[in-house]
Amino acid sequence: MPRSNHSSRGRRAGGPAAGARASKWQRAAAREPWSVERVLEPAPTVERAPDGDWMVRHVRPANAVKTYVCPGCGRSIPPGVAHLVVWQQDSLLGARSAFEDRRHWHERCWRTRR
């Protein structure tokens, strides 16, 4: 009879084996349960401007959980404040690089940027 590489002793239902670390997905699920608000958050829209095409996504106050620095004014965007996430759609290095370079803006700072 072949032996298993994994011990079934000490294993809890739905969890990692005793002494094993939970995966990043298990830690994220325990820390941040999915909510209807997060699923219903609007999809990004394309805004055309003289400096290129930009993907703009609105972040609701309930989904703003970290502090960011707005590149428009240099002030912080604290948790619980609605804001925008913006990235360039037509980046020279590709869509993935553009998304990784996204920035969090106050809505007013984004609308009045030069």
Most confident region among 42-56, 68-82, 100-114 by mean pLDDT? 68-82
Is the pLDDT at 32 greater than 80, yes or no?
Answer: no
Structure confidence at residue 66 (pLDDT): 92
3-state secondary structure the chain: CCCCCCCCCCCCCCCCCCCCCCCHHHHHHHHCCCCHHHHCCCCCEEEEECCEEEEEEEECHHHCCCCEECCCCCCEECCCCCEEEEEECCCCCCHHHHHHCCEEECHHHHHCCC
Residue 35 phi/psi, 5° resolution?
Answer: -125, 160
Q: In angstroms, what CA-CA distances link 32 with 40, 65, 103?
A: 16, 10, 22
Chain segment 49-65, per-residue pLDDT in tens? 888 888 999 999 988 89
Q: What is the pTM of this model?
A: 0.60
Tokens of 40: 């219903």
Delimit the domains of the chain by residue range: 44-112
Q: Is the pLDDT of residue 46 over 80?
A: yes
